[in-house]
Structure 1
Amino acid sequence: MSLPDRVKIVEVSPRDGLQNEKGIIAAAVKIELIDRLTSAGFQNIEAASFVSPKWVPQMADGAEVMLGIQRLPDTIYSVLTPNMRGFNDALAVRADEVVIFGSASEAFSQKNINCSIAESIARFEPVAQAAKAAGLRLRGSISCSLGCPYQGETPIQSVVDVAQRFLALGCDEIDVADTIGVGTPKRVRQVMDAVTRIIDPARISGHFHDTYGQSLANILASLEAGISIFHTSVAGLGGCPYAKGATGNVATEDVLFMMDGLDIETGVDLNEVVDIGMWISAHLGRKTASRAGSALAARKAA
């Protein structure tokens, strides 16, 4: 299969990238990050999460952040909404898209929320109905699609089953997420091929963590399977508390550099993203995890 001419990059650093940071990051910094990402040309930015601050204190300022950003009309600003309270909060701050989530691993679901996969997704029915009634986009994210920290490899049929459930709820887009970064290209291709047999590939996205350095190869395998939406995080921010040594989401700069080399349009300014990655990394007191970002920044400084 030929590769797509254009892909959509969903920038997840303001939410997935920052949520596990130990030190609380000021809302003003998050707002500046989102504004700079908007300026760089992203079509879709995962901006906040309306979960209980007891569980994710870093995301407690979601409303302040959403109300403080400078929006562009063609940009989708997404928020995570685990329940109706979260949905109502998202509605109040004019989110463009709400995101619900479920695991493809029965062990992960039982271990983390003490219920089955089917029960966990059934809990999202009122959120899905409310989102559709309000005219909002709805996205479903399938965690542990390539592997689970408790049961090992995730059965492909489990991923397909969750994708079908999300489709039945009315999801406009469905993420196949490698939460702990254990996927390899062959397995990714098998999973993507199975999911796209029942769902239009235009509605499927790939969300890869780079724990074992496989993310770019996994994205290429996904492109070959007809996928044209990918989640990335500037400077490779993020991580997974369930995967020891996890290095976070695939770096946006690395993906943009690869897309440029494949002559695939993204609409995103790589040079601006490099600057953003260096800026947020300096603020967090660490080096960027992006190899392309480091190389391009060094070239600009020379």
Structure 2
Amino acid sequence: MDKQLVITDVGPRDGLQNQPGILSVEQRLQLIAAIAAAGVSSIEVGSFVSPKAVPAMAGTDAVLASLPAGDLHYTVLIPNMRGYELARAAGARSVTMVLYASESMARKNVNMSIAEADEATAAILASAAADGIEVIATISVAFACPFDGATDPGVVRTSAARFLELGADRVVVADTIGAANPQQVRSLTAELVAEHGPGQLGCHFHDTRAMGLANVYAAVESGIRRFDSSIGGLGGCPFAPGASGNVATEDVVMMLEQMGFDTGIDLDALLRASDLAEELTGTAPGGRAKAWLKPWLAKRAG
């Protein structure tokens, strides 16, 4: 069994986009630096969406311009071709696109049908291939939609197959509103791994019903080795009623490391990043491990 895992911290984008307060570019860079200092090698640093729709993400071009060069993997969310063009102009080398497994979610998010959104995604994939830019395709509401109810797993499998064939570098299955249970996750991810192998797949879980970690575990058991999570469990979705925070990075790392997996992340430094996220946002951490980890790590160090 492959014991290496990759964690992408989405806190600086997914975590901040729904907070009541707006962080400055300098504060966002401070948070990104703290997450990177903990050994997180992949970070979603912002998005090129309309600042009118998501004011917290204004200035992502300045964030990208100020990030240190090196081996870290930075990605940004884009909603459409205009967002792609802005990301490319800002120097992004990786973009994340959202695909839709429900018609209502597509309409609410980008005012398109699934077919229209898929056509737009295909055009962006073609441009990205020509530009040498990585594309991560995230299938939203892959288990349930707040408007349309339960999602047909066949829709997710068809979408994953199509966009991998069109050139997406990775497909991420997202439980956008935290409605999935481990049995559903194990079933869908096992089918996807059997069809495509684990290398081009990832998962993104929210902790709305306190099943985020259980769902990570189920996906790991199916062979998934890439996961999104958010420092301090920050998160939500302005277009998905009921979506609470993402599963906390510190919770995911604690569980996986104690199971014998290697994330390459330093828990002490990660907790310092979580403290900073709490300080900057004024939001209590949504994760569960932090209160236990701090005294445990202090005792181990002593």
Between the aligned partners of 1:242 and 1:51, the Cα distance in structure 2 is 13
Residue equivalent to 1:9: 7
Structure 2 counterparts to residues 208-287 of structure 1, below 5 A = 208-241=205-238, 246-287=243-284
Residue equivalent to 1:106: 103
How far residue 13 of structure 1 moved from its aligned partner, in angstroms, is 0.3
Residue equivalent to 2:36: 38
Residue equivalent to 2:83: 86
Task: Give the direction of change, closer, same or farther, for the CA distance of 1:116–1:280 in structure 2 (3 Å limit).
Answer: same
Task: Give the direction of change, closer, same or farther, for the CA distance of 1:245–1:158 in structure 2 (3 Å limit).
Answer: closer
Between the aligned partners of 1:270 and 1:248, the Cα distance in structure 2 is 20
Between the aligned partners of 2:224 and 2:274, the Cα distance in structure 1 is 26
Matched AA of 1:20: N
Structure 1 contact 104–143 (Cα < 8 Å) conserved: yes
Structure 1 residues 72-99: Cα deviation after superposition (integer angstroms, max 9, x where no partner) = x221110112223222221222222111
**Which range moved further: 160-169 or 201-210?**
160-169
User: SS in structure 1 opposite 2:88?
Assistant: helix
How far residue 118 of structure 1 moved from its aligned partner, in angstroms, is 2.0
- Structure 1: gaps spanning 5 or more residues: none
How far residue 146 of structure 1 moved from its aligned partner, in angstroms, is 0.9
Structure 2 counterparts to residues 15-54 of structure 1, below 5 A = 15-54=13-52
Aligned residues: 299
Select which of 47, 58, 61 maps to 1:60: 58
Structure 2 counterparts to residues 177-192 of structure 1, below 5 A = 177-192=174-189
User: SS in structure 1 opposite 2:149?
Assistant: coil
User: SS in structure 1 opposite 2:12?
Assistant: helix
Select which of 112, 116, 124 maps to 2:121: 124
Task: Give the direction of change, closer, same or farther, for the CA distance of 1:186–1:101 in structure 2 (3 Å limit).
Answer: same
How far residue 126 of structure 1 moved from its aligned partner, in angstroms, is 2.5
What's the TM-score, normalizing by structure 1?
A: 0.93
User: SS in structure 2 opposite 1:10?
Assistant: strand
Structure 2 contact 182–215 (Cα < 8 Å) conserved: yes
Structure 1 contact 27–64 (Cα < 8 Å) conserved: yes
Between the aligned partners of 2:75 and 2:39, the Cα distance in structure 1 is 16
1:75 aligned to 2:69?
no
1:295 aligned to 2:292?
yes
Task: Give the direction of change, closer, same or farther, for the CA distance of 1:151–1:276 in structure 2 (3 Å limit).
Answer: same
| Superposition CA RMSD, Å | 1.7
Structure 1 contact 145–176 (Cα < 8 Å) conserved: yes
**% same residue:** 40
- Structure 2: gaps spanning 5 or more residues: none
Between the aligned partners of 1:246 and 1:87, the Cα distance in structure 2 is 26
